[in-house]
Every structure is written in C-alpha cells, then in structure tokens.
Amino acid sequence: MLLDKNNLHDITSYLRDKQLIDVDETVISAEKPGEGNMNYVLRINLQERALIMKQARPYVEKYPTIAAPEERVIIEGEFYKQVKPHEALRTAMPSIFNVDEENHILVLEDVGDSKDYTFLYQQQNQLSEEEAQSLATFLSVLHTDCKAGEPSELMVNRKLRALNHERKDTWLQYPARLA
C-alpha cells in the first residue's frame, strides 16, 4: 500500500481491511496536517472523526534524495506502546490504533490542530513558562517511569542514529532542521 492523499478509495479499503473503520464509514478527504519532515503524513477525515496515517518511505519525505530507514514508524509505534501504561504520558499523546510493519504505516488518533513547536527554531521564539513546565514534567516521567532494563534492539534504532550521524553536515545545508 502506497499512501496517497488523492486515492481515497485505497485508503478506505485499507482502513476497512485493518478493521480501523466500520463498513459504513467512508473517507471523505485526506490532507496534510502540517509540514512533516521524515514521513508522509495524512489527516484522514471520516464523517464523524479523523485519523492520522503516517507512512515511512525509504527516504526523508521532505528531502527525497536522502535515504532513511523505513522501520522508523514501527519504532515510533513501539514507543507509543511502551508509554501506554503510564497515565501521565498516555494522556499527553495520541492513541495508537495500528502498526503495519509490512507497509510501514502507523495509524494514530487525530488530536486536532495543535502546536508542533517548529516555531522554536526561529530566533527569539521560546516556550511559555507553563509549556516549559509541562514539558519538563513529561520528560521527567518519561525518563524515570519508562526505564525497564536495557532497551530492545528495535528501540535502540541504530539505523536512524547512523543516518543522523552521517548526514549531520547535510542537515545543516537545509533551511529547516529535521526533527
């Protein structure tokens, strides 16, 4: 399955096959929810709700000439699964509905229009005190409550680490940093 915002029929069929929508639900539209860097991301609008679908392709979505490991969305899905038992983390993150390892697709709850904080890369922009405190609390809980021995090889994510290391100079050539 190649995710394509212009192919609503295939998206509807895919979601039905994965039992993520009912047989009477139909995809009304698909749109980019914001400027993504690494993955192809769509907001899938149904009659009563919306979903987010992410597909990792063998390259960086924003810069297709840069190869990237496709399993990155599988690793992201694993992260969501690992934080799910922790209420303080779970309530600050979207719910995960499906991880498709074969097609490198992640389906998540749509949390609506929210800040992605890319504005922080611009000079003079900063978090409010309340946002900084919320972030510090989230990171503290993540750091202290989610330690369960050694991380799995999947979570170590060596291929993406290698990409970031190899391409450090390349990233600096582009106007926006990759997150």
Q: Residue 49: give its domain's CATH number.
A: 3.30.200.20
Residue numbers of the domain that contains 95 = 8-173
Higher pLDDT, 18 or 142: 18
Determine, yes or no, domain membership for 3.
Answer: no
146: which DSSP letter? S
Q: What is the pTM of this model?
A: 0.80
How many C-beta atoms lie closer than 10 Å to residue 51's C-beta?
Answer: 22
C-alpha angle 23-48-17 in degrees, rounded to nearest 5 = 30
Residue 84: inside a domain:
yes
Residue 179 inside a domain? The answer is no
In the predicted structure, residue 162 carries a pLDDT above the cut 80: no
CA atoms 7, 9, 12, 17: torsion sign: negative
pLDDT digits (tens, 9 = 90+) for 34-87: 877 899 999 999 999 999 999 999 999 998 998 899 999 998 998 888 888 888
Indicate whether 146 belongs to any domain. yes
Q: Is 16 domain-assigned?
A: yes
State the pLDDT at residue 113.
77
Domains held by the chain: number: 1
161 or 36: whose pLDDT is higher? 36
